[in-house]
Amino acid sequence: MTEPTTSNVWIPVCCERVMRFNVFIQKDSSAYGALVCGVCNKNVTLELEKSVDLAAYGDGSRAINVLGSPRPPKTERRKADDEPLSDQTL
Ligand SMILES: [Zn+2]
């Protein structure tokens, strides 16, 4: 039996919706990602950084898992505080 692949991730949210995520390849073959809110069009650019030294970004810096979906559900995002924050994997 195979277990379903699930993991804890951070969800990018704006206007109570999960933000869209798309990756764009540029002509020089570098890539960047964009988080976009389908409601207010706010967008956040993500640049790829390879083999990064986390310490260079200051105390408490860490790599986090963020969900990136090109077609997230258009329904209102359920509030995360419906569940107690007892998760030790944060
Ligand atoms: Zn928004």
- The CA 16 to ligand 1 mean position distance, Å, reads 8
Q: Which two tokens stand for residue 64?
A: 């986090």
- The CA 10 to ligand 1 mean position distance, Å, reads 17
Whether the CA torsion 21, 34, 79, 77 is positive or negative: it is: negative
pLDDT digits (tens, 9 = 90+) for 55-68: 999 999 999 999 99
Q: How far apart, in whole angstroms, are the C-alpha atoms of residue 9 and residue 69? A: 12
- The CA 74 to ligand 1 mean position distance, Å, reads 12
- The CA 27 to ligand 1 mean position distance, Å, reads 29
Q: How far apart, in whole angstroms, are the C-alpha atoms of residue 36 and residue 62? A: 23
Task: Tell me which of 81 and 7 has the higher pLDDT.
Answer: 7
pLDDT digits (tens, 9 = 90+) for 19-30: 999 999 989 988
The pLDDT, as a whole number, for residue 30 is: 87
Instruction: Categorise residue 41: left if φ over 0, alpha if ψ from -120 to 50, beta otherwise.
Output: left
Tallying the residues shown for the chain, one arrives at: 90
**How far separated are the first and last CA of the chain, in Å rounded?**
28
Given a cut of 80, is residue 3 above it in pLDDT? no
Q: How confident is the model at residue 6 (pLDDT cuts 50, 70, 90)?
A: confident
